[in-house]
Amino acid sequence: MRPFSYTRAPDAATAVTAGTVPGAAFLGGGTTLVDLMKLNVMAPTSLVDVSRLFTAAGGAATDAIQDTPQGLRIAAAARNSDVAAHPLVRQRYPVLSEALLSGASPQIRNMATVGGNLLQRTRCAYFRDAAEPACNKRAPNSGCAAMGGWSRMHAIIGASDRCIAAHPSDMNVALAVLDAGVYTRSPKGERSIPLADFHTEPGQHPEVESVLEPGELIVGVTLPVTPFAARSAYVKVRDRAAFAFALASAAAALALEGGQIRHARVAIGGASTKPWRCRDVENALAGHAPSRALFQQAAALAVKGARTTPDNAFKVALVQRTIVRALERALEAA
């Protein structure tokens, strides 16, 4: 780990100012950032500690989770375990609670924050190995070692010729089906970013992972009131029951009317380069009576155009089965 300076920000305004200094990084729970600093994959020159900021968009001190007429507002510094256990989250947005509880371990969930989870970085072994020179995400234009290497954990959806690293977050997949928004603060002011637009595909620039500008601070997340959020579920397939990242995951949410699906939301993780909304699947479900046959037919659209390697080709079938199971669980929900 390389030397760095440390500042604890007393408020969002101070944090934003400190975050604009070149080489600065915001520190939440540290479960990703500190880990990567120890590996010399990330080397910020200064850390701005925002872990104790519980601020709303206006900057006033408030509780970490607010109930508003528009929905829930969750502060970026809220701990994953607290969000997962919150009664309103469990009641109104069960997919989010399930996704958070499927991640990592209780100890890490007690430290990890919502803001940090939004910026969680890939678990690609080549990205995390500073001795590996070929990683376009870590060292632009250096190549992608995973292309011809071990790629069982890598993405089959959203990959490019420069990067096939999978996005690891569980929380973000759930937020994608909830039509969540991310609100931020920067020297330019405040803005709200739809979660679906927050993360970027690797394309020609895998090193760019979100639409955040330098020094822009995530203040929190909004969960709007929707007709489908309460009937939702998250399914994660992994090598072991705990402390393992997804080989494939799916979040699903349904609103029924007159025995038919009026609204559907489906997103996948573990097999995609970002939390991936499956809009073709959603369109195929809407207006039809729910059934396993319908779910299977719609799920096949999620992997249309998938790019596989010999190591991860099994994910084509796995993603479809995971989506079907998530839809069945959402249908069973109250």
pLDDT (0 to 100) of residue 1: 85
**Average pLDDT of the residues in 113-135:** 97
Q: Which of 119, 128, 156, 173 is nearest to 306 (CA)?
A: 156
Distances (CA, A) of 266 to 198, 246, 254, 256, 307: 17, 16, 9, 15, 20
- For residue 109, give both structure tokens: 């969930």
pLDDT (0 to 100) of residue 54: 62
| CATH code of domain 54-224 | 3.30.465.10
**Average pLDDT of the residues in 75-92:** 96
Whether residue 274 has pLDDT greater than 80: yes
Whether residue 58 has pLDDT greater than 50: no
How would you list the strands of the sheet with 217-224, edge to edge? 65-68, 71-75, 217-224, 181-186, 189-194
pLDDT (0 to 100) of residue 242: 87
pLDDT digits (tens, 9 = 90+) for 190-223: 999 999 999 999 999 999 999 999 999 999 999 9
Domain ranges of the chain: 54-224, 232-332
| CATH code of domain 232-332 | 3.30.390.50
pLDDT digits (tens, 9 = 90+) for 295-320: 999 999 999 999 999 999 999 999 99
Q: β-pairing, 46-49 with 24-27?
A: parallel
pLDDT (0 to 100) of residue 59: 42
